[in-house]
Amino acid sequence: MNAPVEIWNMSQLRHVNFHVYGWHIGRGLHLPDPPSDKIVIMENLQTLKGVRNFKCDEMMVRRIPNIRKLGLSYPGGDEDIEYGDDYCLHNIERLQKLESLSCEGYGRSALLQKLTFPHSLKSLTLSMYINRMEDILEKASALPLLQKLKLKGGYFTTGKWETVEGQFPSLKYLELGLCKGLEWWMTESSHFPCLEHLRLYEVSLMEFPAELGEIPTLKSVRMHHCSEESVISAKRMVEEQEDLQGEEELSFNVSVILKKHCGENGFLITLANRNFTVEIDRY
C-alpha cells in the first residue's frame, strides 16, 4: 500500500501503525519521498510501524526528531546494496528519542550490518538472516537502557558467543531464534544482572550454560525445538539449583517444547519434574 505524499504535511500526526499479518515480500506501507520544496518538521510523530523500504537519510532524521517507535521491513535481496541502496540505516543512531526498533527482511544480511542504534533504545527486534550475529550482539550489548532483545535468523561464524562483564546492563528479556552455528555460549551470571526471561528457538547449543541458573532475577527459560544436548544440560542446571535452593524455593522454571517426531516415550520426556516441564509440539 502506498501512502499519499500529503502525509508529510500532517504536522499534528502522532501515530502511523500499518498492521502486517505475517511476513511476506512486498507487504507494508510505502511512504513516498517527502516534497523537497517544503520541509515540515513532524514534531508530534511518535510511532511509525509497518513501513516498507524506509529511507532514513539526513533530511528524514530532521523531519521526525521525536520518533519513539519504528517498525521497518526490507523485502528483496542484498543485490540492492551493490547499487548503493542501503536506505541510510546508519542514521537511525541519530534518532535520539527512539525507544523501540523492529526491522525485518530475510535475505538482507548486508543491509543489516549498516544498522546503528541510539543509546535511548529499550526494545530491539531483528528478523533477518544475519551473516555475523557476533557483530549485532556486540552493538546491542552496549545499549545502556535496552530491556528487550529479540533476534531471529543469523549465523555465528565463530561457533560461539562469549559475553563479558558490563554488557547488557538493563536487559530483562532475551530471545534467540533460528540462530545457526551457535554451539557454545560462554557467560557468567553477572553478565546479565537484570535478566528475567530467556527464550531459545531452534538453537543447537552443545551445552546450556549452567551459569544462567545463578542469575538471581531469572524467572523463566523456554526452549523450543532446541538440541537434545542443550535440553539435557538445562535439566542438569535445574537439578544443581534444586540442590542449592530446595525444590520448593527454586526461583525459575525451565519449559521445553520438543519436535513432534521425538515421540512421547522419548528419553527427554522422562526428565520432566515440577521445575522442568516438557511438552511435545503437536503441530
283 residues of the chain, pLDDT tens digit each: 888 888 999 999 999 998 765 545 456 888 888 887 788 999 999 999 999 889 999 999 999 999 999 999 887 654 444 434 678 889 999 999 999 999 987 666 677 777 889 999 999 999 877 778 888 899 999 999 999 999 998 889 999 999 999 999 999 999 999 988 999 999 999 999 999 999 999 999 999 999 999 999 999 999 999 999 999 999 999 999 888 887 666 778 899 998 876 654 468 888 888 899 998 887 6
pLDDT of residue 169: 97
- Set of cell numbers at residue 31: 511512504
CB 256 within 8 A of CB 279: yes
Residues 190, 217: Cα–Cα separation, whole Å = 11
CA dihedral 96, 74, 204, 124 (to 10 degrees): 20
The pLDDT, as a whole number, for residue 28 is 82
CA distance 238 to 236: 5
Ramachandran class of 122: left when φ > 0, alpha when ψ lies in -120 to 50, beta otherwise: alpha
